[in-house]
Amino acid sequence: MKNNEYKYGGVLMTKPYYNKNKMILVHSDTFKFLSKMKPESMDMIFADPPYFLSNGGISNS
């Protein structure tokens, strides 16, 4: 593992980018991470997919 990585429930993750006031921003494989989380343990999941996936790549111009 790299210095900025750790395991949570057997899932390799990078350390949180932000962790304050009960809000944690993490970088991980979404499906692997969520499969290890306890049901109803999160209030919101914000997933940011790669850019330029729609309209032939012109949706963000």
Instruction: Write the pLDDT tens digit of every residue in 25-54.
Output: 877 777 877 887 778 888 888 776 666 666
* Residues in Cβ contact with 47 at an 8 Å cutoff, skipping those fewer than 6 apart: 30
pTM of the prediction? Answer: 0.44
Identify the pLDDT of residue 53: 61
Average of per-residue pLDDT values in the chain:
73
Give the DSSP letter of residue 1: -
Q: Inform me whether the pLDDT recorded for 19 exceeds 70.
A: yes
